[in-house]
Chain A
Amino acid sequence: MSLYGVMAEFGGAEALLAAAREAHESGYGDIEAYSPFPIEGLPEATGFRRNWIPAIVLAGGLAGGIGGYLMQWYSAVLSYPINSGGKPPHSWPEFIPVTFELTVLVAAIAGVVGMLALNGLPRLYHPVFNVREFDLASRNRFFLCLRHADAQCARDFLRGLEPLGIWDVPV
């Protein structure tokens, strides 16, 4: 039976953080840590380096704002110029509200879609769900999963961290 990885269960956020750091220092390259709430420092301890979300949101905002303004300019100046109250066709102060709204809208949508895409969600099936105890990962338990390592070595290593339990995660 091929394994997705070896998983250990912990009772607290501090224990998981310490375990993740130790695994990282011991040379385990592919570490996944699961917790019922975000824990400061944990992503870095599992080797998380570059967070692309701010760049994606910025790109979305720029696209929405610039695109929105150009749309109004094109329609009011080139495609369908009409005289409204004697204002010039390119009456930019009145293009601001829609430009602003589209900046916010596209930035927000880009951020959410980007977050889901980078996280690989939605993904309804995942091997870690095969571990029965993993149901508690969304309640009060904390899990560390070591991947792409020799299973026996990983089990021995995890046992040294004094977890509440150790499981093999089938693929």
Chain B
Amino acid sequence: MADVAAPLRRWSYASVSDKIADIVLARRASWPWVVAFLISMIGTVAFVGAIGWLFLRGIGIWGVNIPTAWGFAIANFVWWIGIGHAGTFISAILLLLRQTWRTSINRFAEAMTLFAAGIAGIFPILHLGRPWFFYWLVPYPNVMELWPQWRSALVWDIFAISTYLIVSLLFWYIGLVPDLATLRDRAGTRARQVVYGLLALGWRGEARHWARFETVYLLLAGLATPLVVSVHSVVSLDFAIAIVPGYHSTVFPPYFVAGALFSGFAMVLTLAIPLRHFFRLHDFITDRHLENAAKILLACGWIVAYGYFIETFTAFYSGDEFEIAMVKDRLLGFYGPVYWTVLACNIVVPQILWWRAARRSAWTLLAVSLVVNLGMWLERVMIVVQSMHHDFMPSAWGNFIPTVWDWITFFGSIAFFAFLFLLFVRALPAISIFEMRELVLEEKKS
């Protein structure tokens, strides 16, 4: 991977530290950032407003009904939690595989994971009829002497999501501590010294501290690695454990995990390309990084395509008339256009990545990544909604049509994500500084 680090030859410990730290400490907010921040803030206010209205009026403000009791809320949940997976993949699995090129993208990918998983965690609570009782899913001593139902996939889900959130937060924060110490020591104003100083926990870079730090960082990567596979597997069991045609399928766990990585790497590209453009980080986030991400995108895309194929094949191969009827409805029924758009976005468009020129063009990759994000969201909607709207009894069929509140909540969650990410790039180092110094050392040695 020498050619990834090659642009680092121009950099020293000092200049690489100053460059990344000064994005936070010295650089004034540019107008594109201010505009983006204001727009995302308006969207965030709309998101909070939509949630407030939901809590006042109940889930009747959405388009959900019987039979389609799961609408956008669950689709958004599955989509957002999937986006987080690429961050964990980059920071944990690529660390264990000693892929040093991951160094310049792991920090913001972890932030992406944290924000996406946090937003995902909101949606199951929103869709509860009585959201103020969500903590009943957690085992705690209570006067009702009740316990959670351990055989329910929904209980597995809250354990999987909260574990994922907490482990991601620990991994991200522990990795940040040495860089927070850099910001503390470099901060020009008293207020910044105090804030970064408190967050840095008094880190001073002693050799024994580094030894324990490195061990725990590696072990956290090892612990996070099975989470890449397990979290979305558990999410998929919410569906696969049910008997609804279109949900009840053994291919779901790997199919969901591949889709998660697919949408996650698309989101990594969606964030990395503007980030490196606006903050001039071309020496750190190189074309090679984008190309590697594009290759993973292409590979995951084919696993997802296999999932689509095997789902359809199994339905006919099973001979089960309800499964066959569901697949026919998926292809040609009320939600047929959604299915064909999903295929176009997730299978057809990414094939452009076979061409090296496309993988090397940042703006082509940005366009492809946006298309894949859209395609994966539509896929989640298709799985959640279309399966339910056409189950066993014709008398129980019905359509889900999203209301304006469904759309505000969905777009509001995207705005909230952008809001958090924009704050992150201005308040914390978006690239791991101490790991970049290690790369500078390696580059010097070679």
Contacts and interface: CB of A to CB of B under 8 A. Distances in A.
A70 B68 CA distance: 37
A38 B214 contact: yes
A36 B434 contact: yes
Given A35-B207, A48-B207, A125-B202, A118 B146 contact: no
A109 B170 CA distance: 8
Interface stretch (B24-32, B75-83, B178-186, B409-417): B178-186
Interface in B119-173: 139, 145-151, 155-156, 159-160, 162-163, 166-167, 170-171
B156 A98 contact: yes
Contact of B208 (A48, A61, A98): A48
B51 interface: no
A83 B171 CA distance: 40
A138 B208 contact: no
Contacts of A152: none
Contacts of B226: 100, 104
Interface in A2-55: 13, 20, 32-39, 42-43, 45-46, 48, 51, 53-54
Contact of A98 (B155, B171, B184, B224): B155
Chain B interface, >50% SS class: helix
A37 B149 contact: no
A112 B434 contact: no
A124 B149 CA distance: 45
B401 interface: no
B13 A114 contact: no
B174 interface: yes
Given A102-B159, A139-B186, A48 B145 contact: no
Given A38-B213, A80-B145, A140 B203 contact: no
A139 B12 CA distance: 10
B114 interface: no
Which of B151, B234, B434 counts the most chain A CB atoms within 10 A? B151
A124 B184 CA distance: 11
B216 interface: yes
Contacts of A98: 150, 155-156, 159
A39 B207 contact: yes
Which of A35, A105, A138 counts the most chain B CB atoms within 10 A? A138
Interface string A85-97: 1010001001101
B441 A112 contact: no
A122 interface: yes
A63 interface: no
Contact of A57 (B174, B198, B216): B216
Given A37-B435, A100-B230, A105-B167, A95 B207 contact: no
A151 interface: no
B437 interface: yes
Contact of B181 (A39, A118, A138): A138
Nearest to A34: B205
B234 A136 contact: no
A39 to B, nearest CB: 7
A34 B166 CA distance: 30
Interface string A48-91: 10010110010001000000000110011001101011010001
| Interface size range of chain A in the complex | 35 or more
A95 to B, nearest CB: 6
A111 to B, nearest CB: 5
Given A84-B151, A108-B170, A114-B216, A138 B205 contact: yes
Contacts of A116: 201
Given A33-B206, A38-B438, A104 B163 contact: yes
A84 B149 contact: yes
B17 A140 contact: yes
B17 to A, nearest CB: 5
A136 B12 CA distance: 14
A161 interface: no
Contacts of A75: 139, 147-148, 150
Contacts of B12: 140
Contact of A32 (B207, B215, B437): B207
15 contacts: A33-B207, A38-B438, A45-B207, A48-B207, A53-B219, A97-B160, A97-B234, A98-B156, A105-B162, A108-B166, A112-B220, A115-B174, A118-B212, A138-B203, A139-B17
Interface of A: 13, 20, 32-39, 42-43, 45-46, 48, 51, 53-54, 57, 61, 71-72, 75-76, 79-80, 82, 84-85, 87, 91, 94-95, 97-98, 100-102, 104-105, 107-109, 111-112, 114-116, 118-119, 121-126, 128-129, 134-140
